[in-house]
Amino acid sequence: LQFTEEKLGQAEKTELDAHFENLLARADCTKNWTEKILRQTEVLLQPNPSARVEEFLYEKLDRKVPSRVTNGELLAQYMAEAANDFGPGTPYGKTLIKVGETQRRLGAAEREFIHSASINFLTPLRNFLEGDWRTISKERRILQNRRLDLDACKARLKKAKAAEAKAAVT
């Protein structure tokens, strides 16, 4: 009732401290930017949306995400197979072997980067959103309910004093 009356402008609302309001605004801003950065980093690390959904499901089921071959590793594999077809002794075969080995190392480095970024960057962001932010939201709701209770009590007290004053006059 108090909340509705406040929204309709029929009841007074106790204002929170300006510093506290600033902290709440900063917390909201932090949450919004953290979500955006988390989503975009996930897109950068895994551009394939269906693979991201699959990884998300594995994560929610607490299962290990199967290891995927990176594009560099796949290219390296193709180059090695092509080098064997052309013959490792031919100039083209030798070149394919060298470039393929370099691509394999690049693919392994990419895999390590994705793994490292996931653990060292994405995990703290997720921990904030799933842990700290939930706590902040819960405490904010509790504070809002307490404030509404306080304002409702103030309104009842005001009505009681007005009724008492009216009874004293008559």
Domain for residue 3, yes or no?
no
Domain for residue 6, yes or no?
no
- In this structure, the chain runs to a length of 170
5: which 2 tokens?
A: 């009356």
- Per-residue pLDDT tens over the stretch 95-128: 999 999 999 999 999 999 999 999 999 999 999 9
Residue 146 is part of a domain; what is its CATH number? 1.20.1270.60
Looking at residue 155, its pLDDT comes to 85
Distance between first and last Cα of the chain = 31
pLDDT over 70 percentage in the chain: 94
Question: Which whole number is the average pLDDT over 35-52?
Answer: 92
Domain for residue 66, yes or no?
yes
99: which 2 tokens?
A: 């470039």
Domain for residue 165, yes or no?
no
- Per-residue pLDDT tens over the stretch 10-32: 677 778 899 999 999 999 999 99
Domain for residue 170, yes or no?
no
**What's the rounded Cα separation, in Å, for the pair 124 and 104?**
30
Question: Which whole number is the average pLDDT over 2-9?
Answer: 69
DSSP assignment letter at 20: H
Domain for residue 37, yes or no?
yes
Domain for residue 166, yes or no?
no
**What's the rounded Cα separation, in Å, for the pair 83 and 77?**
10
pTM value?
0.74
Domain for residue 1, yes or no?
no
Number of structural domains (the chain) is: 1
Looking at residue 142, its pLDDT comes to 96
- Per-residue pLDDT tens over the stretch 139-164: 999 999 998 898 888 888 988 998 88
Residue 128: domain span:
13-160
